[in-house]
Amino acid sequence: MKIKFKYSIQLTFCILIFLSSSCNGMTKLAQTSSPNATITPSTLIRNTPTITVSPTHTAFPSPTLPTTTSPTPDICSPLQWQEEGIYILSRSQFDSSDPGGPIAINQILISRNPAWEDFQQYDHGEMRTGGKIFHESAWGPNMGEGVSPAILLITYGVELDWELPPYGALVAKVVLMRNLLFQDVSEWNRGVIDQSQYPAIKNGASYALFRYFDGDQDILEKWCRTYIDVFGESPIKK
């Protein structure tokens, strides 16, 4: 009987322990498994930025429209001279009375160097301004022996950088330029010059300038561009 009673006590004790453990497990399950709770995994909650995709434009080259005008050659460019030869002064412009009269030439001198405003030199019984000296001294004693005052003006400006003449002797300087330029043109036109020695020179007027500036193409380019800048027209105008 003692053994049975002891066994009964042990059995009863085990049953109580089992029941106690089961109750605790059910209590915890009830606390964590509420039917009203919604479990959302943290990995599903994200702030996804809004991505705006702009359309991609493919660049296409602009169509080339045909031009109806030909490019104007730069007559003052040494590169042009290599292809076409040196032609920076036409024969008709070489001894033309245009552009510019005495007043216009004087204004050009003053615009390039204000010291010309007070310049005068006695010539042919009167005091003359620089503009009048260039205009009146451009023509030789005989008909047809002259050089355009505009050509002499630009030649003087390029050579002396628009400074006043040494000792005020403008008349002598203009006459010297006229004689040298006219002589070279005349010799070219009369065939005195062996033109085969100057294959790049296209006419007598350009040859005269070439000779006057000792063949320095930088100075020739400057002369050509200065003429266009001062008078607003080409020195080979026909």
Q: How confident is the model at residue 72, as a pLDDT?
A: 60
Determine the 3-state secondary structure of 128 from DSSP.
strand
d(CA 13, CA 10): 5
Cis peptide preceding 66, ω within 30 of 0: no
**Token pair listed for 99:** 């552009």
d(CA 9, CA 2): 11
Low-confidence ranges of the chain (pLDDT < 50): 1-71
- 38-77 pLDDT per residue, tens: 444 443 334 444 444 444 444 434 334 334 333 467 899 9
d(CA 140, CA 175): 8
Contact 92, 235 (CB under 8 A): no
User: What's the predicted TM-score (pTM) here?
Assistant: 0.69
